[in-house]
C-alpha cells in the first residue's frame, strides 16, 4: 500500500535486462494475451522487417554515396532475378548474373561486392562506413578493385563477379535477413580465389554488423583483415580458415601489461 492508500505499481524486474539486449524478454501479460504496448511493438517490428525485405535498392543514389572512398567509380551487376518478387521466390536466380553481364578485369588483391540481399536498407545504412573501415584496416597492404553494386543478389553471385574481375579474395557485403529485433544488419562473406561453383564451406562469414547495437565497423573490419591475411597465407578460405584477430588482440594486451625493460 502506498502512503495515499493506493496500490504501488509492481516493480519491473526485467527493466534492467532489457537494456542489454534487443530480444523481446519479460513481455508480461494482460489476461490471456500480451499487453497492448507489446502487441503494437511487435506489429511495428514486423512491418519494418517486411519493408526492409521488399523495398528495392536505389542503386544510383547509393552509388553516389561511395564516391569519396577513393576506390573508383562503382560498377553495376544485376542477377537473373528480374524483380524483387522473383528474387524472393527464386533464390537460384539471385546467384547468377544477368545475361550479357560484362566486367573489366581488375586483377587486384581484393574485390568488394555491395549486395542488396534481403535488406537493401542495411546496405544504405551501413555499407559506406563498413567499406571505409575496411580500407583503413587494410592500410594500403592490398590493391582493391572498384566496388561492385549487385542488385537482387545472393552471396554466390560474388563468385561470378570475383572470377570475372580476376581478384584474389572476394568480399561480399550483403544485407542480412531482417528479424523482429534488427532490420538493418549487414553480413560479410569472404571467399579466397573465387570461382563459379564455390560452396558455403569455402567462405568465412562475419555477421550482425549494425552499430551501435550490433558489431561495429572497426571490429568487423579487423576480423576481415585477419581473415584476408590468413587466407593468403593458407591459400584458401572456409572451414580451414580461423579468425585469429582475437588472439592478436589478447597477445597485444598481455604485452602491454608487461613492465618496460630498462
Say if 94 falls within a structural domain: yes
Residues 6+ apart with CB under 8 A from 61: none
Q: Look at 209 and 15; give whichever has higher pLDDT.
A: 209
Q: How far apart are CA 156 and CA 250, in angstroms?
A: 34
Q: What is the pLDDT of residues 200-232, one digit of tens each?
A: 999 999 999 999 989 999 999 999 999 999 999
* Mean pLDDT score across all residues of the chain: 88
Say if 241 falls within a structural domain: yes
Q: What is the pLDDT of residues 135-169, one digit of tens each?
A: 999 999 999 999 999 999 999 999 999 999 999 99
Indicate the DSSP class of residue 74: P
Partners of residue 204 on adjacent β-strands: 190
Q: Which three-class secondary structure state does DSSP give residue 153?
A: coil
Say if 167 falls within a structural domain: yes
Q: How far apart are CA 197 and CA 87, in angstroms?
A: 20
Q: All 3 cell numbers of residue 140?
A: 594500403
Q: How many structural domains does the chain have?
A: 1
Q: How far apart are CA 256 and CA 143, in angstroms?
A: 32
Q: What is the pLDDT of residues 36-91, one digit of tens each?
A: 888 888 888 889 888 888 999 999 999 999 999 999 999 999 999 999 999 999 99
- Give the range of the structural domain holding residue 220, as residue numbers without chain letter: 59-246
Say if 128 falls within a structural domain: yes
Quick one: average pLDDT of 96-122? 95
Say if 28 falls within a structural domain: no
Say if 34 falls within a structural domain: no
Say if 22 falls within a structural domain: no
pLDDT of 25 > 50? The answer is yes
Q: All 3 cell numbers of residue 161?
A: 563477379
Annotated ligand binding at 176? The verdict is: yes
**pLDDT for the residue numbered 8:** 56
Say if 252 falls within a structural domain: no
CATH number of the domain to which 214 belongs:
3.40.50.11240
**pLDDT for the residue numbered 202:** 97
| Helix pair 217-234, 120-138: axis angle to 10 deg | 60
Annotated ligand binding at 205? The verdict is: yes
**pLDDT for the residue numbered 60:** 95
Annotated ligand binding at 254? The verdict is: no
Residues 6+ apart with CB under 8 A from 124: 57, 58, 62, 65
Amino acid at each position: 500500500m502506498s502512503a495515499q492508500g493506493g496500490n504501488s505499481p509492481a516493480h519491473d524486474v526485467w527493466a534492467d535486462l532489457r537494456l542489454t539486449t534487443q530480444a523481446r524478454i519479460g513481455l508480461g501479460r494482460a489476461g490471456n494475451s500480451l499487453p497492448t504496448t507489446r502487441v503494437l511493438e511487435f506489429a511495428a517490428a514486423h512491418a519494418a522487417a517486411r519493408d526492409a525485405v521488399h523495398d528495392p535498392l536505389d542503386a544510383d543514389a547509393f552509388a553516389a554515396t561511395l564516391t569519396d572512398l577513393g576506390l573508383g567509380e562503382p560498377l553495376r551487376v544485376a542477377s537473373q532475378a528480374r524483380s524483387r518478387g522473383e528474387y524472393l521466390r527464386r533464390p537460384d536466380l539471385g546467384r547468377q548474373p544477368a545475361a550479357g553481364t560484362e566486367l573489366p578485369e581488375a586483377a587486384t588483391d581484393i574485390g568488394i561486392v555491395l549486395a542488396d540481399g534481403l535488406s537493401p536498407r542495411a546496405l544504405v545504412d551501413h555499407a559506406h562506413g563498413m567499406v571505409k573501415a575496411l580500407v583503413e584496416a587494410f592500410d594500403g597492404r592490398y590493391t582493391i578493385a572498384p566496388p561492385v553494386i549487385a542488385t537482387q543478389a545472393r552471396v554466390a553471385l560474388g563468385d561470378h563477379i570475383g572470377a570475372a574481375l580476376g581478384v584474389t579474395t572476394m568480399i561480399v557485403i550483403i544485407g542480412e535477413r531482417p528479424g523482429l529485433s534488427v532490420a538493418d544488419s549487414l553480413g560479410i562473406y569472404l571467399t579466397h580465389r573465387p570461382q563459379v561453383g564455390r560452396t558455403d564451406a569455402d567462405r568465412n562469414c562475419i555477421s550482425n554488423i549494425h552499430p551501435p547495437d550490433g558489431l561495429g565497423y572497426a571490429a568487423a573490419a579487423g576480423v576481415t583483415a585477419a581473415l584476408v591475411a590468413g587466407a593468403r597465407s593458407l591459400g584458401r578460405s572456409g572451414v580451414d580458415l580461423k579468425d585469429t584477430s582475437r588472439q592478436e588482440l589478447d597477445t597485444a594486451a598481455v604485452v602491454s601489461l608487461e613492465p618496460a625493460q630498462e
